[in-house]
Chains A and B, each alone.
Chain A
Amino acid sequence: MSKKQYIETFSTLNPSEESIERIMSMTDKKRISRLNKTLIIIAVVISLLCSVGLVANAATGGAVAESVSEVVEKVSKKMTVLVNGKEEKVTVSEKIDPKDEKYYPADEKCYAAVIEVKSPDTDTKYEVLYEDAAGSEDKKYYPADEKNYAAKLESKTSDTDKESEARYEETADSDDAKNYTTEAVYNAQDIDKDMESSLDVALKGSTTKTE
C-alpha cells in the first residue's frame, strides 16, 4: 500500500448525482429568487404610490386629481405670431388657469412684451392687432382668445431710452368671434427722471380670426 494506492482507492468514491444536481440548481433558484424580489419591490412601490395618491386626493377633496388632469391638459402648442409683419414661432401653453404669462421677443428696437392671456379655453388661433397709441408705426400681432383677451405690455425702446408701461384690455362678445372691436386703455408712464408723466390713451384694437 502506498500513497498512489490510497489516491486510487478514494478516487473511486463520488458523491451522488442527485446531490450534485441539487447543488447546480442552486444558481437557478437564486436567479428566480432575485427576479421575484425585484417584481415584489416594483409591485410594492406602485401600490404605495397609488395609495399615497388616493389618500392625498381624498384629503384634498379631489384637488390632486384635478391638478393632475390639469397638467395632462396642458398642451404645448406652437403658434406663429406676426411681429411687425415678421412671422415668429412661439410656444403657447394653454392652461385652464386664467393667468398665462408669455414673454415674446418683439421688434428689432428691443421691444419686450409681457402678455397675459386670460381664459384661453379654445384651440383657435387668433391674431390681435395692436396699434401703439404713442403713434408708433409698429403693428404687432399677438395670439389672443376668443372670449376675453387682456394683455399687459411693458415696452422699452432703445432709441429713446424711455420705459413705458402699457395695459391693454379688451373684451369681446363670444357670439361675435370673427369680427369684433374692443376698447382698450393704454396707460403709458414715462419714467424719465426729469419729466414724469402718465398718459391715458384710448386706443382701438381689432382682432381677426385666422383659423
Chain B
Amino acid sequence: MANRVAIVGIGLTNFKSKRADVNMAEMVNEAVRDALADAQLSIKDVETVISANLEHLEATYLPDQYMADESGAFMKSGLRLSTGGTSGGSAVVEGFSFVASGLADIAMVIGFEKQDTVDSTGAITTTCTPLWGEGLSSGAISEFAKQALTYMQRTGAKEEHPAMVRLKADRGACRNPKAHLKLGLKSIDEILKSGYLVWPIRLLDFCPQSCGACVLIYASEEKAKKITNKPVWIADLVTVHQEPFRAGIFDDITGKEVLCEDIAAEKLYKRNGITNPRRDICLAELYERHNGDRRRISGKLLRRGNSHQRHRGHACRARGGGGAADSRRRRRSPGDPGREDGCSHGLGRSQLDNNDTPEKVFVGGKMMAQDAKPELIHLTYSVPRPYRWSSGKYMGKTFREAKDHKKIVTNRCPKCRELLWPPAGVCGRCKVEAGEEWVEVSDKGTVLQFTYLVMPMWNPHTGERWANPYPIASILLDGGLYILHFLEERDPKKLKDGMRVQAVWREQTIGRGAQGVSDILYYRTIQEASK
C-alpha cells in the first residue's frame, strides 16, 4: 500500500494574457517562490522537481532543462511531463507517486504555460496526425464543440445551460485575485449575446489564452505533520485514458463507448466508499475549457451537487494542478467560501483542454509586441519543422484504395467485429491483433452531428487562413463506419442532423487517404427517395 501523501504548499502566479516582463523560467520561479513561502520551506528541502507543459505550444524544447535554476531543480531528481492538455494533471499524479512510493519525502510539481509565445489555437490544430486529421482538428474549440453537441443531443440541454454555469464561474473568478478574466457578468444574456467561436461554443463560453504557473509541494506523512497542522491529504487518484480522435469522433455519439470520466468516477467512488457523490463531495474543481463540458462533467460526477466551481481562466498546463491547488486552499482556509459546508472531500479533474480566444491570430507572419518602458526584448522567430509521416501498412492500404480506386476500405477486429478507423494493426478495445480482414464501406452516409467555425482559423501546415472553411461532421457511413469529414454545404441553415451525404472525391487523387485533408474533398448533400 502506498504511503500517505499530503499537499503542504501551493504557489500560483497571476494569470494574464501577456507577460513580457518575464521569460518562461522567471514566470515559473514566481510560482515556485510562492509555494515555498506557503509551505514555509526552503528549496533545499525539496528533493524532486517535476514540471509539466506542452512545449509545442511555445515553440521551445526541453524547457525543464533551461529553467532548472529558476525551478529549483538544479542538482535534484525529477522529470518533465508533456501529456497534452492533461500535463498539469499528470504532474499532480506523478508528484504523488514519488512521495507515495517513498522515492522522495518532499516533491514539487510545476505546471506552466506561457501562451503569449505562440498562437495556441493554431498550434493545437497540429496535435493530431496530419495523415488522418489535418483540417479536422481546427484547434481545441471545434473539438469541444462536438462534445458539447453530443451532450446537448443526449440530454436536451440548451445553450442557456452553459451560460448559467459561466455566470457562476465568473462570480468565482471575481473573488479570485489570481484569475485572468474577471468580467463581473450580471446575467446570462451577456453570455448569450457573445458571438460564436465554433457553433455552439460562444466567446464567453471559452477560457482565454493565459500565461501562468502553478506549483504544488507534496510531503510524506511524517514530513507533512512537521510542516503544517493543516495538511491536505490526497485520498485517491485515478487516470483513465481514451483516444477518441482515433474513432474520428469526439464523444460517445455511437452510444457504444463508456466515457472515461464515468469510469474514473466509478473507480474512485467505489474505492473510497462514496455512495452519494452529491452528499459526500462538497467541493469539485472541474477543469474544463468550456462551460458545456463543465456542466456535463459536474452533472455526471455530482448530479448537480453543492459544488463550488470557479472559472479561473489560466494556462492549460497549469490547470490540472490548479484544481488540486484550489481544493487545498479552500479546504484549509477557514474564512473561505469553500469551507462553508464543512468540506471533507475535494475533487479535481484535468482533461485535454485549452484556453483559446481569437485575441491573437496571425498567419505565418511576424508579430512584434510593442512595449514602452522599460524596453523589453522579444525574439520573434519561426522555425518550420519538416515532417515525413509514414502511414504504415494498415493505413497505407486505405490510402492505396482511395488513391487508385476511390474506395473507402478499412479492417475489422476479428474479436469484437467492429470496423477500425483508421485501420490499425491492433484493436484498442480488445487488445488483439486486428489482421487483414478488409471491408469496403459505402461512401454514402448520414450526418450524425456537425459544427462549423465562426472564428478565423489558420493551418500551420500551410500557413493559410481558414484551415477548414467547410463544416465538420460526424458521419455514419452505410456499412456502419463512423467517420469525421467536411461538408460541402456551408449554409448553417441548410445543415441538419440526419441529412444524407455522399463523398466527393478529388478528380486527381493525391494519396492522402479518406479522412480530413484527403482524397475525399468533402461530403455533398444528396436527396434520396427513401432511406
Q: Say if A and B assemble together.
A: no
Give chain B's interface residues, CB within 8 Å of chain A.
Answer: none
Give chain A's interface residues, CB within 8 Å of chain B.
Answer: none
